[in-house]
A and B are shown apart, each in its own frame.
Chain A
Amino acid sequence: MKMKKFINSQESLTKELLEGFALAHGDLVTLLPANTVVNKKLANANRVTIVTQGGAGHEPALSGFVGEGMLDVSVVGDIFAAPGPQACVDAFKLADKGKGVLYIVLNHAGDMLTGNLSMKQAAKEGLHVVKVVTQEDVSNAPRENSDDRRGLVGCVPTYKIAGGAAAGGKSLEEVAAVAQRFADNMATLAVAARGATHPSTGNMLADLAEDEMEIGMGQHGEGGGGRSAMKSADETAKIMLNALLADLSIKSGEKIMLILNGVGATTLMELFIIYRKCVEIAKEKGIEIVANYVGELLTVQEQAGFQMFVARMDDELLGYWNAPCNTPYFKRGL
Chain B
Amino acid sequence: MTSFIKKREVLYMLLSRDSLSSMFRSAALLWQENVTRLGEIDSRFGDGDHGITVGKMAGAILSRLNGFENESIKSFIEGLSSDIMGINGGSAGPLYGTLFEGLSAPLSDETEINAPLLKAMFTGAQDALFEITKARVGDKTMMDALIPAVTAARGAQGDVLAVLNAAAAAAARGCGDTENMVSKFGRARSYGSQTIGVPDAGAVSAALLFEGFNNLKGGEQQ
Judge whether B47 and A87 touch: CB under 8 Å: no
Contact A203:B90 (CB < 8 A) given known A218-B187, A223-B191? no
Query: Does residue B113 face the partner (Cβ distance < 8 Å to A)?
Result: no
Query: Does residue A78 face the partner (Cβ distance < 8 Å to B)?
Result: yes
Judge whether B88 and A198 touch: CB under 8 Å: no
Judge whether B132 and A86 touch: CB under 8 Å: no
Q: How far is the CA of A57 from the CA of B95 in the complex (A)?
A: 22
Distance from B213 Cβ to chain A, minimum over Cβ atoms (Å): 23
Distance from B48 Cβ to chain A, minimum over Cβ atoms (Å): 4
Contact A201:B93 (CB < 8 A) given known A81-B88, A82-B88, A222-B187? no
Judge whether A117 and B187 touch: CB under 8 Å: no
Contact A84:B94 (CB < 8 A) given known A200-B52, A224-B191? yes
Query: Does residue B49 face the partner (Cβ distance < 8 Å to A)?
Result: yes
In the complex, what residue of chain B is closest to A108 when comparing beta carbons? B187
Query: Does residue A109 face the partner (Cβ distance < 8 Å to B)?
Result: yes
Q: How far is the CA of A198 from the CA of B48 in the complex (A)?
A: 7
Per-position binary interface string of chain A over residues 69-95, scored 1 when its CB falls under 8 Å from any chain B CB and 0 otherwise: 000000011111111111100000000
Query: Does residue A140 face the partner (Cβ distance < 8 Å to B)?
Result: yes
Judge whether A201 and B52 touch: CB under 8 Å: yes
Query: Does residue B43 face the partner (Cβ distance < 8 Å to A)?
Result: yes
A200 cross-chain contacts in B, Cβ below 8 A? 48-49, 52
Total A-B residue contacts, Cβ distance less than 8 Å = 114
Per-position binary interface string of chain B over residues 33-44, scored 1 when its CB falls under 8 Å from any chain A CB and 0 otherwise: 000000110010
Query: Does residue B87 face the partner (Cβ distance < 8 Å to A)?
Result: yes
Query: Does residue B99 face the partner (Cβ distance < 8 Å to A)?
Result: no
Judge whether A83 and B88 touch: CB under 8 Å: yes
Contact A79:B49 (CB < 8 A) given known A198-B43, A218-B187? yes
Q: Of B43, B82, B192, which contacts A205 at CB under 8 A? A: B43
Distance from A74 Cβ to chain B, minimum over Cβ atoms (Å): 13
Q: How far is the CA of A232 from the CA of B65 in the complex (A)?
A: 58
**Residues 80-115 of B contacting A (Cβ, < 8 Å):** 82, 85-95, 97-98
Distance from B98 Cβ to chain A, minimum over Cβ atoms (Å): 7
Q: How far is the CA of A77 from the CA of B179 in the complex (A)?
A: 30
Query: Does residue A252 face the partner (Cβ distance < 8 Å to B)?
Result: no
Per-position binary interface string of chain A over residues 116-128, scored 1 when its CB falls under 8 Å from any chain B CB and 0 otherwise: 1100000000000
Query: Does residue B210 face the partner (Cβ distance < 8 Å to A)?
Result: no
Interface size for chain A: under 10, 10 to 19, 20 to 34, or 35 or more residues? 35 or more
B191 cross-chain contacts in A, Cβ below 8 A? 222-224
Q: How far is the CA of A86 from the CA of B47 in the complex (A)?
A: 23
Query: Does residue A209 face the partner (Cβ distance < 8 Å to B)?
Result: no
Q: How far is the CA of A139 from the CA of B191 in the complex (A)?
A: 12
**Residues 172-222 of B contacting A (Cβ, < 8 Å):** 185-192, 194
Q: How far is the CA of A139 from the CA of B192 in the complex (A)?
A: 13
Query: Does residue B53 face the partner (Cβ distance < 8 Å to A)?
Result: yes
In the complex, what residue of chain A is closest to B202 when comparing beta carbons? A109
Q: Of B85, B90, B92, which contacts A80 at CB under 8 A? A: B90
Judge whether A86 and B90 touch: CB under 8 Å: no
B95 cross-chain contacts in A, Cβ below 8 A? 113
A114 cross-chain contacts in B, Cβ below 8 A? 93-94
Query: Does residue B45 face the partner (Cβ distance < 8 Å to A)?
Result: yes
Distance from B95 Cβ to chain A, minimum over Cβ atoms (Å): 6
Query: Does residue B124 face the partner (Cβ distance < 8 Å to A)?
Result: no
A220 cross-chain contacts in B, Cβ below 8 A? 47, 187
Contact A81:B43 (CB < 8 A) given known A109-B187, A117-B132, A222-B187? no
Query: Does residue B79 face the partner (Cβ distance < 8 Å to A)?
Result: no
Judge whether B40 and A84 touch: CB under 8 Å: no
In the complex, what residue of chain A is closest to B44 when comparing beta carbons? A203
Distance from A159 Cβ to chain B, minimum over Cβ atoms (Å): 21
Query: Does residue A110 face the partner (Cβ distance < 8 Å to B)?
Result: yes
Judge whether B93 and A109 touch: CB under 8 Å: no
Query: Does residue A229 face the partner (Cβ distance < 8 Å to B)?
Result: no
Query: Does residue B51 face the partner (Cβ distance < 8 Å to A)?
Result: yes
B82 cross-chain contacts in A, Cβ below 8 A? 86
Judge whether A87 and B91 touch: CB under 8 Å: no
Distance from A79 Cβ to chain B, minimum over Cβ atoms (Å): 7
> Which residues of B pack against A, CB within 8 Å?
39-40, 43, 45-49, 51-53, 82, 85-95, 97-98, 132-133, 185-192, 194
- Contacts A203-B48, A222-B45 supplied; 9 other A-B pairs, CB < 8 Å: A77-B88, A78-B89, A81-B93, A84-B86, A201-B51, A203-B39, A220-B187, A224-B191, A224-B192
The contact sample of 12 A-B pairs, CB cut-off 8 A, is A80-B48, A85-B85, A110-B90, A198-B43, A198-B47, A198-B48, A200-B52, A201-B39, A201-B48, A203-B39, A222-B190, A224-B191
Q: Which 9 A-B pairs have the closest CB atoms?
A: A224-B190, A110-B90, A110-B91, A81-B90, A203-B43, A77-B88, A113-B94, A84-B86, A109-B186
